[in-house]
Amino acid sequence: MRIFQLTVLSQVATVLVLILTCSQTSLAVPPPDVLAQNQTTQYSDIVTASSQACLPQTYTFNNVEFRGQLTRCDFGADGNTSPNDLWAYVSPSGRRYAIVGLGNRTVFVEVTDPENPVILGKFQGGASIWRDMKVHKQYAYIVRQQNGLGIQIADMSDIDNGNIVMANETTLGVFFTTAHNIAYNPDSEFFYLCSPNLNNGVGLVAVDPTSDPANPVIAGFWNTGTDVHCHDALVVSYDTGVYAGQEIAFCFAEDNGLIIGDVTDKSNMFTIGSLTNFSWRYTHQGWISADRRHLFVGDEADETDPGLGIDSTRTYVVNIENLSQPFFVSNYIAHTLNHAIDHNMMAVGKYLFQANYTSGLRVLDVSNVSAITEIGFFDTFPPHDGTVFFGAWGVYAGFGDGMVLVSDGQNGLFVLDASPLLNIPDIPSAALFPNGTKKNRYISFVNNFGAAPGNFQVRRFIDEGPPEVVGWVGLPDDRGISEIVPDPPDPAISWPNLIVEVGDCEIIPATTYQVLSTNDNYFFSDPFTILTSGDPDGTQTWGDVTGKIFSNDFITLWLRADGYVDVWDIVAVLHGVTMRPLSAGADRLDLAPEVPDGIVDSLDLQSVVDAFESQPYPFADSSECSNP
C-alpha cells in the first residue's frame, strides 16, 4: 500500500476509534416507543394551550422566512377552527387567495399582501376533519369526508371585490355525498373524486365541469379492484415521449401501494401498472418530478411502524419512466431529528415542498434523486417533533416566486417566503475521473426465470424516450462472464439460477437498464431492472457512499452521499468491514472490482481509497470487454 494510503487510513483509524468507543446505546437505533413515551400527556397539554390562547410563538426556520399568519383564533371562537387542507387561486388581476378548509367551513383569505392576510368570506359545510378543494377557472370545488352533501362550488369571479358566491352544492345526480380528496388535471380540466361514497369507494370517479362549471357531470369510473381505495391522486397529461396524448392517474392506494391508470378515455379507464409488492404501510399522497421520470411518495404510517425502527420522516422515490412497470429507486430519510409523520407535498422545479406534521414545512432539493437533501424549513409546530398527528397539514407552493402557504391544525394559516432558496446556486460537482477515462462497468443479475431455455434482451430507457434495445446476453465464457451481442444466441441459453455478469464498456450513467427473459420472441417474465449511478452529464459518483456519521442520545445514522469522496466514505466502508450494525447500506459499500461480490471487505476499502486519490475507474481495462 502506498504511503499516502497509509496516511489516509491512519486518519480513518482515528475517526473509527472515536466511533467504536461510543456507548452501545448511542450506536443502536432506539426502540420505536422511546420518543413516544408520555407523548399523550405532552401533546394534550400543547393542543389545549394552543386552542385556548392562540399565543404568538417562536418559530425556527432556515431559508424560509415568515411573512404572515392567521391563528385558529383569527378564524373564529368555536371549536371547529382547526385547519386541514388548503389550495390557492390567482385572480385575472394577479391577486392571490388561499382557500382553507376548517373543521366546519371553508374560508377564503386574500394573501396578496403576505404580511397582512385578510379573511374575505366563508362557507359552512358540515363538521368534518377532512376537507379538500381544487380550482377550475374561477370556481373552487370543495369536498369533505364527513357530513357531506356533494360538491360545494364557489364562484370566485368577483373575489377581488370581496364577493364569493355559492354557485351550487350538487350530488351529481347520483346522491354523491362524500369524498376524502378531489384531484384536478388542469390540462384536461377534469376532476377526480378520491374515496367517494360511489363505486364502493374504489378507484376514481371522473367529473366533467367543462360544459357548465356550476353543474358538473360524472364522466366515468376507474375501478382499481375490490377494496383498493385511492386515498389521494395525482392526474397529469403527457405531451411528449412515448405516452404523449395520454392522461395518467397516480392513485395512492393506502396499504395497496401505488396504482397507475390510463384515464384518457373516460368511458374506458383502466389500470396499466402498480407497485404493490413494496413494503407500503399507508400510501398517502405524492407528486411527480419536473422531468416526469420519478414520483415522490409519502407513506403516512411507516414512521410509526415498530418493524421499521426509524421514526424520522421518509420519502420514497419511484421510477415511472415505464408506467406499466414502476419500481422503487431510493428513499430519503430526514436525518435532522425531525421525527414527524409526512402528510402532503408539492414539487415545483427541483424542489419538493412537504407539510410534515410536527416538523412543519420541509423543502428538499430533489434534482438528484440518489442524493436528496433538505435545503430549507419552517417549523410551524414549535413545541417539539414527534410521530403524532399534530401540526402542518397542507402545503401550496405553486405561485412560482417563492410564496408558500401552509395550513397547521394547531397554529392556523402561514404565509411563508421561500424565495431565498431561488438564489442558492447548485452545488458544483467535479468529475472524479478525467474526461475520456473508460468507465467500464458490469451489470449483474440473478437468473430467477428458471432453467427453461430462453434468451435475455438488454434494453435501456433514457429520459422520457422509448426503450432502446442495447443487445442480447451472449454465451458465457469460461469465467462465466457474458458479453452483449447484437443478436440472440442460437441455440437459446439454458441457465440454472446463478449470477451472470454482463460486460459493457460504455454503460450510460443515470440510465435505467432492463434485462428481460424471452422465448420465441415472447417476453414471459418481469424485467430485472438496473439503475446506473451518476448524473446524465457523465459525472460519476463511484466511491461516494456516504456523507458522514450523525449521532445523538437517541439515534446514530450514516447520512446520504454528499457528492465528494473523502475520509468519511472510507470510514463507512471500514465500518462495514467490521460488521457494525449501523454501517451505511451494503449496496453502497460493496464496490469490489470488477463487480459487486455480495461481501464488504478490504477490496471495497481499497476501491474507495483509490477513488479518494482520483485514480482511474478501477474496473477492467477496456480491452477486456466489447461494445455491443
Cβ atoms of 363 and 377 closer than 8 Å: yes
pLDDT at 526: 58
Task: Give percent of the chain above pLDDT 70.
Answer: 68
- Between the two ends of the chain, the Cα-to-Cα distance in Å is 36
CA 36/CA 554 separation, integer angstroms: 12
What secondary structure letter does DSSP report for 395?
Answer: E
Per-residue model confidence (pLDDT) at position 304:
72
Cell of 436: 475520456
Rounded to an integer, what distance in angstroms lies between the CA atom of residue 409 and that of residue 177? 24
The mean pLDDT values, 10 residues at a time, for the chain of 628 residues are 38 41 28 32 49 72 94 81 94 96 95 96 91 97 93 97 96 94 97 94 96 97 93 94 93 92 97 84 91 90 71 86 87 74 92 92 89 90 82 93 94 94 54 32 48 70 70 70 76 54 49 69 59 48 72 67 76 76 64 60 78 54 40
Contacts of 212 (CB under 8 A, 6+ apart): none
357 φ, ψ (degrees, to nearest 5): 40, -115
**Helices (H) then strands (E): counts for the chain:** 8, 39
Q: Which grid coordinates belong to 333? A: 430519510
Q: Say yes or no: domain 39-421 is CATH 2.60.40.10.
A: no
Strands (E), 125-231: 131-136, 139-144, 151-155, 165-170, 181-185, 190-194, 204-208, 217-222
What is the crossing angle of helices 3-20 and 602-612, to 10°? 120
CB 249 within 8 Å of CB 260: yes
Distance in angstroms (rounded) separating the CA atoms of residues 252 and 259: 7
Burial group, residue 419, by CB count within 10 angstroms (0-12, 13-18, 19+): middle
Q: Give the DSSP H or E segment for 72.
A: helix 72-75
In this predicted structure, what is the pLDDT of residue 11?
A: 45
What pLDDT score does 308 carry? 66
C-alpha cell at 80: 371547529
Q: Give this prediction's pTM.
A: 0.65
Whose CA is closest to 377, among 353, 357, 395? 353
CA separation for the pair 290, 609 (Å, rounded) = 36
